[in-house]
């Protein structure tokens, strides 16, 4: 990407959609995560540039800095501006990382060579089970990272990831690790979750199981909870999803 193309990118990323104010949005959020271009510039494994946009931490953050500055200029000082940052890129699943380690040490001893060969011969799914390695559900999984952001930047921080119990939300806020929490899957499963919490319940009757079926379907299907265990029938599941996100638009 040439410097001219990067400048064009800044303009494109910093210009909010026409009419966004009329939607009633309180502000905008810059996605600097999920492997999109801004995150690619931050990641030294991806960004090998030797100009003002790469080569040091400051330079890798230069593009984000320009996008933030330009976005603030575009939206004005009366709206919120958020930056969604990943604390960890998690480029590899733990299993490939374990394999990489074993394979890189395979020439050091006969034992290491046998260990690597055995590991390579076993399918990843089986390895995960045997070694107990993998990403598993953990409530408030990113809270420690949120605290690190908060300590470092001194700005309001929204923690996200795996929060579903009222007590966990309360503990996260009271610990001072974050200023707000956000939720995605628990709210898809129970759109009335704030009401459930207000009523004093710690967790909804049919909680999200964090099966990730909803996330896997985002590009093709209406947004909703696709976990059959949470419904009495497939018909109930379909009706619930369509009621949530499949309504025809009023102006259609």
Nearest Cα residue to 114 out of 126, 106, 104: 106
Least distance (Å) between residue 53 CB and ligand FMN: 23
- Residue burial 147-163, b: 16+ Cβ < 10 Å; e: rest: bebbeeeeeebebbbbb
Residue 106 or 185 having the CB closest to ligand FMN: 185
Name the residue nearer to ligand SF4 (CB basis): 62 or 190.
190
Number of alpha helices (DSSP H) and beta strands (DSSP E) in the chain: 13, 4
Q: Which does 149 bind (CB under 5 to 8 A by kind): ligand FMN, ligand SF4, none?
A: none
Query: What tokens appear for 62 in the block?
Result: 């230069």
Write out the residues near ligand FMN by the rule CB under 6 A: 31, 34, 84, 160-162, 183-186, 214-215, 218, 223
Binding site for ligand SF4 (CB under 6 A): 185, 188-189, 208-214, 225-227, 230
Q: Please state the closest distance from residue 6 (CB atom) to ligand SF4, in A.
A: 37
Q: What are phi and psi of 85, to 5 degrees?
A: -115, 140
3-state helix, strand, coil in the chain (%, to 5): 50, 5, 45
Q: Which does 249 bind (CB under 5 to 8 A by kind): ligand FMN, ligand SF4, none?
A: none
Return the one option of ligand FMN, ligand SF4, none that residue 225 interacts with (CB less than 5 to 8 A, by type). ligand SF4
- Which C-beta is closer to ligand FMN: that of 55 or that of 207? 207
Q: How many CB atoms lie within 10 A of CB 115?
A: 15
CB of residue 132 vs ligand SF4: minimum separation in angstroms? 22
Helix (H) or strand (E) holding 40: helix 37-42
Judged by beta carbon distances under 5 to 8 A according to partner kind, the member of ligand FMN, ligand SF4, none in contact with residue 223 is ligand FMN
Q: Which does 31 bind (CB under 5 to 8 A by kind): ligand SF4, ligand FMN, none?
A: ligand FMN
Reduced to 3 states (helix: H, G, I; strand: E, B; else coil), residue 158 is strand
């Amino acid at each position: 990407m040439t410097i001219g193309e990067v400048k064009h990118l800044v303009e494109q990323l910093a210009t909010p959609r026409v009419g966004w104010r009329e939607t009633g949005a309180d502000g905008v959020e810059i996605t600097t995560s999920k492997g999109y271009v801004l995150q690619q510039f931050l990641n030294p494994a991806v960004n090998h540039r030797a100009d003002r946009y790469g080569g040091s931490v400051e330079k890798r953050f230069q593009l984000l800095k320009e996008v933030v500055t330009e976005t603030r200029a575009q939206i004005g000082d009366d709206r919120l501006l958020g930056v969604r940052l990943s604390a960890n890129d998690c480029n590899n699943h733990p299993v490939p990382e374990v394999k990489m380690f074993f394979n890189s040490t395979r020439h050091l001893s006969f034992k290491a060579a046998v260990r690597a060969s055995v590991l390579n011969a076993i399918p990843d799914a089986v390895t995960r089970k045997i070694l107990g390695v993998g990403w598993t559900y953990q409530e408030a999984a990113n809270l420690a990272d949120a605290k690190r952001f908060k300590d470092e930047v001194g700005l309001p921080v929204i923690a996200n990831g795996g929060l579903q119990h009222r007590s966990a939300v309360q503990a996260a806020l009271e610990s001072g690790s974050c200023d707000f929490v956000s939720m995605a899957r628990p709210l898809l499963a129970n759109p009335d979750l704030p009401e459930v919490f207000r009523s004093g319940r710690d967790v909804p009757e049919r909680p999200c199981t964090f099966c990730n079926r909803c996330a896997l379907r985002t590009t093709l299907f209406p947004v909703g909870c696709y976990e059959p265990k949470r419904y009495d029938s497939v018909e109930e599941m379909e009706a619930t999803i369509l009621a949530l996100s499949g309504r025809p638009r009023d102006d259609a």
